[in-house]
A and B are shown apart, each in its own frame.
Chain A
Amino acid sequence: MLTFILRKLGVIIPTFVGVTLIAFTFIRLLPGDPVLVMAGERGMTEERHARLMAEFGFDKPIIVQYGHYLNDLMHGNFGVSIVTKQPVLEEFITLFPATVELSLCAILFAVVVGLPVGMIAAVRRGTPFDHTVMAGALTGYSMPIFWWGLLLIIMFSGILGWTPVSGRISLMYFFEPVTGFMLIDSLLSGQQGAFKSALTHLILPTIVLGTIPLAVIARQTRSAMLEVLSEDYIRTARAKGLKPSRVIGLHALRNAMIPVITVIGLQVGVLFAGAILTETIFSWPGIGKWMVDSIFRRDYTSVQGGLLLIAVIIMVVNLIVDLLYGLINPRIRHTE
């Protein structure tokens, strides 16, 4: 197991270096520099432009800038945002829990609904239930997040008045964040009704962000189950007279889970991408919205810091997924 972990880590380090390079160069490939964007129609003199570029260090050759950047990273320094003048890491840490909270809820929603639905669809292949699930999954997968979010808001918040429109908690409640996770902080605050408010604020964004992963998981579970159900050992198990629930729940599901877990792992990236839109619609103060703002403002330090941190998180999640495979299916850790 240890060599398995070390092997996986060995892949992560070069990936990390690659990501720093990509994060660093991509934002610089965009035309326009941050100083010009900052000045807008008002503009500024050539001399002042040059001085500002020098102050930010953008006048040096790219390779030198990259060297400085790597050096700073080694010292745990992600730089200071060009716009807000706040340390990038500090901003990231403040906003990240909101994204994690939403993403966890979304993936939980997707798994809790997607797995059983996919399983049942596989077992009842060809029935109206199966057709409905597959059509629903296709619709969910193809739905633009922006439109879907607004539709839910207009329906459930506007017309029916069941859920709050946006935000993380009602403005009535006011407490200093402790963990950054609103569900936990609202409980810690001891204010009556705060937890319920936080929970109701999570409903719509969770559904919106969880819809695509839900569709993918349901489809993946269905096809993995179908494949496994046609295997010889399942037939043998059935022939031995095992209860259908045991055959499906124990023998089939465990083997079908391998590709499903891969998909769940990959959905983490999808969640971050989806968070950008979901956070904008639901005024959710997470990193998705922060990254978009930073790109528009050509805030180089925030973009490269944010990209790097997100990449690291995705790599870590995928590492955990790899390790999970090993646990579920010993063949993987032995054959690799």
Chain B
Amino acid sequence: MKPMKRKLLAAVCGASLLVAGAAAVQAKTLVFCSEGSPEGFNPAFYTAGTTFDASSRAIFNRLVEFERGTTKIGPALAEKWEVSDDGLEYTFHLRKGVKFHTTKEFTPSRDFNADDVVFSFKRQLDKEHPFHGVTEGAEYEYFNGMSMPDLLKDVVKVDDYTVKFILNRPEAPMIANLGMDFASIHSKEYADKMMAAGMPQAIDQKPVGTGPFQLVAYQKDAVIRYKAHPDYWDGKAAIDDLVFAITPDPSVRYQKLKAGECHVMPYPNPADLEAMASDPDVNLLQQEGLNVGYLAYNTQVAPFDNPKVRKALNMAINKEAILDAVFQGAGKVAKNPIPPTIWSYNDAVEDDPYDPEAAKAMLEAEKVSGLQMKVWAMPVQRPYNPNARRMAELIQADFAAVGVDAEIVSYEWGEYLKRSKDKDRDGAVLLGWTGDNGDPDNFLAVLLGCDGVGGSNRANFCYEPFEELIQKAKVVSDIEERTKLYEQAQVVFKEQAPWATIAHSVVFKPVRKEVVDFKIDPFGGHIFYGVDLK
């Protein structure tokens, strides 16, 4: 009897294991080996991509969103919108039937509506708003950084499904701004409930959004777990669970990817790229990053106030050599101040050729001899410049070849940013920029507009014909007309040469072969809605 019982037990156990196994197979879990812990879960407080991946891109939606894999903006929580003729009023018609997440702390009693939109923006705009300062020390970094307090006069509810944004001045990139992470929509009902419970700051720690995934658990520096939002307005995600396995070291991330412990990893170690490309289990995706690395001359200090001198120096720089030595293949020569993934990129512009002899002759023609200058090298690694010191050394050698004596200087990062803004700054600065909203204005006006002189415009470049073009493009809402203006602006830029445009980084994204339809986000984000597993 006993052996019989054992057999029966074994059969039952086996069957239940099979059932459990089948259930485990059915639940699709995608593991992303992320590079670090998010700073928090309210994207409005932060500016780091790591934080956005974990918060805005998974948990929240915005009124308008970028089409996955592009910088093109499209409808999301707003189905459509109109802009008034004077460009001062934006009216958004909201999507109906959008559900917020149901969590341990909160069960929504109503769908998303205009109150949530007004709440999400007023909280950032109005210093007297009851939720403005509920999280101690929190700052609305991006909202301020994009000048929204100056731009936005008011956000008004017209009816439950219509919201009006009233601006102080026309601003064509406004729609793109509303697609940014800080513009994520939060639940007002949840906020009110937490306020009534005496813990309003909970809304920033235990987020509730309308996004494709909802937060299940977070263990700092270890793991973030999400599950697919079952009632997501655009249809439930193809994967059931999303897990971020926080893995700070890039080589270890690759080992995990190889071992099948994760499906997607960001920021590979350049030294591993070759092995990844030949790895049979891995697809190595690549695309130019939404960034530009440049050397900015101080155009208000002689002899750099002379465009011909700047042009001559640009011709002295061997960019291909820099790409090989500094980017190790993970870069592309930049000829324009905006990256090729941005609309209005002018591919017809011709780059200054590398020609030391001609450069020398041009300097002589301008009566510049025995020039001594400083080249500033950043102390940190950035996406647009993985090794500024090395880059500066190469530029120093290139300049020496045309008789220019360059001295390399560097400061601690915070100091570097501060000192390099100085209008009387001595020398040319290595720096760069990563785009925020995919709008050319975000590069051209911020980095080269007259308003940025003594600030984000490190070249202190304020040139009337260029300024006219970018100011006009700011107030026109027709995209074709804007494209033409920006294309022209890039031509003027190249003639004037306030920078030596050096490189756009190339972003590599290793994903396992079983991952279906993962797209590189030009903004550097990692978006898992729309991704499936074989």
Chains A and B belong together in one complex:
yes
Query: Is A42 in contact with B145, judged by CB distance below 8 angstroms?
Result: yes
Min CB distance, A192 to chain B, in Å? 11
- Give residues in A with beta carbon < 8 Å to B: 30-33, 36-45, 48, 52, 55-56, 80, 82-85, 91, 94-95, 98, 150, 153-154, 157-158, 161, 164-168, 171, 174, 176-177, 280-286, 289-290, 293, 298
A31 contacts B255, C-beta separation under 8 Å: no
Contact A285:B222 (CB < 8 A) given known A36-B418, A165-B252: yes
Instruction: Given A85-B137, A167-B245, check contact A157 B255 (CB 8 Å).
Output: yes
Closest residue on chain A to residue B259 by CB atoms:
A165
Residue picked from B29, B36, B256, most chain A C-beta under 10 Å: B256
Q: Known: A32-B412, A150-B252, A285-B246. Is A43-B261 also a contact (CB below 8 A)? A: no
* Interface locus among B39-47, B109-117, B336-344, B361-369: B39-47
A98 CA to B139 CA in the complex, in Å?
31
Residues of chain B within 8 A (CB-CB) of A80 are 136-137
Distance between A191 CB and nearest chain B CB, rounded to angstroms? 12
Cβ of A154: which chain B residues have Cβ within 8 Å of it? 255
Output the least CB separation between A1 and chain B (Å): 42
Taking CB atoms, residues of chain B closer than 8 Å to A168 are 222
**Which residues of B have CB within 8 Å of A91?**
220
Given A85-B137, A167-B222, A293-B36, residue A282 in contact with residue B252 (CB < 8 A):
yes
Given contacts A37-B414, A85-B45, contact A161 B137 (CB under 8 A): no
Does B126 lie at the interface of the complex (its beta carbon under 8 Å from any beta carbon of A)? no
B432 contacts A41, C-beta separation under 8 Å: yes
* Minimum Cβ distance to chain A for residue B406 (Å): 23
- Give, as a whole number of angstroms, the nearest-CB distance from B485 to chain A: 24
Count contacts between A and B, CB distance < 8 Å. Answer: 129
Most A Cβ at <10 Å: residue of B45, B145, B247, B249:
B249
Q: Which 7 A/B pairs are nearest by Cβ-Cβ distance?
A: A32-B414, A285-B221, A36-B414, A31-B412, A285-B222, A283-B247, A32-B412
Q: Is B31 part of the contact surface with A, judged by Cβ < 8 Å?
A: yes
In the complex formed, the residue of A with least CB distance to B225 is A174
**Which residues of chain A come closer than 8 Å to B37, judged between CB atoms?**
293
> Contacts A164-B261, A168-B222; is A41 near B255 (CB within 8 Å)?
no
Known: A85-B137, A158-B259. A280 touches B249 (CB 8 A): yes
Q: Give Cα A83 to B137, complex, Å.
A: 9
Q: What string of 1s and 0s marks CB contacts (under 8 Å) between B474-497 and chain A?
A: 000000000000000000000000
A95 proximity list for chain B (CB < 8 A): 220-221
- In angstroms, Cα B217 to Cα A177, docked, is 11
- List B414-453 residues whose CB lies under 8 Å from chain A: 414-415, 417-418, 421, 431-434
**Closest chain A CB from B324 CB (angstroms):** 25
In the complex, the answer to whether B417 meets A40 with C-beta atoms within 8 Å is yes
Residues from chain A with Cβ under 8 Å of B413 in the complex: 32, 36-37
User: Is the pair B223, A171 in contact by a Cβ cutoff of 8 Å?
Assistant: yes
Contact between B36 and A283 (Cβ–Cβ < 8 Å)? no
CA–CA, A37 and B256, complex, Å = 32
Give the shortest distance, in Å, between A149 (CB) and chain B (any CB).
8
- Given A30-B412, A84-B39, A298-B414, list of 16 further CB < 8 A pairs? A32-B414, A41-B456, A44-B144, A45-B455, A82-B137, A84-B40, A85-B136, A158-B258, A165-B252, A165-B256, A167-B223, A171-B243, A177-B219, A282-B252, A283-B247, A289-B248
Taking the closest CB of chain A, its distance from the CB of B425, in whole angstroms, is 14
B90 at the interface (CB under 8 A from A): no
* Contact of A283 with B252 in the complex, beta carbons under 8 Å: yes
In this complex, which of B247, B431, B432, B456 has the most chain A Cβ atoms within 10 angstroms of its Cβ?
B247
Can you report 29 A-B residue pairs in the complex whose CB atoms are below 8 A from each other? A31-B414, A32-B412, A33-B414, A36-B414, A37-B414, A39-B145, A39-B417, A40-B47, A41-B417, A41-B432, A41-B433, A43-B455, A44-B144, A45-B455, A52-B139, A82-B137, A85-B135, A95-B221, A150-B251, A150-B252, A157-B255, A158-B259, A167-B222, A174-B225, A280-B249, A281-B252, A283-B247, A285-B219, A285-B220
CB-CB under 8 A from A161, the residues of chain B are 259
Whether A283 lies near B412 (C-beta < 8 A) is no
CB distance from A315 to the nearest CB of B (A): 26
Contact A283 B248, beta carbon cutoff 8 Å: yes
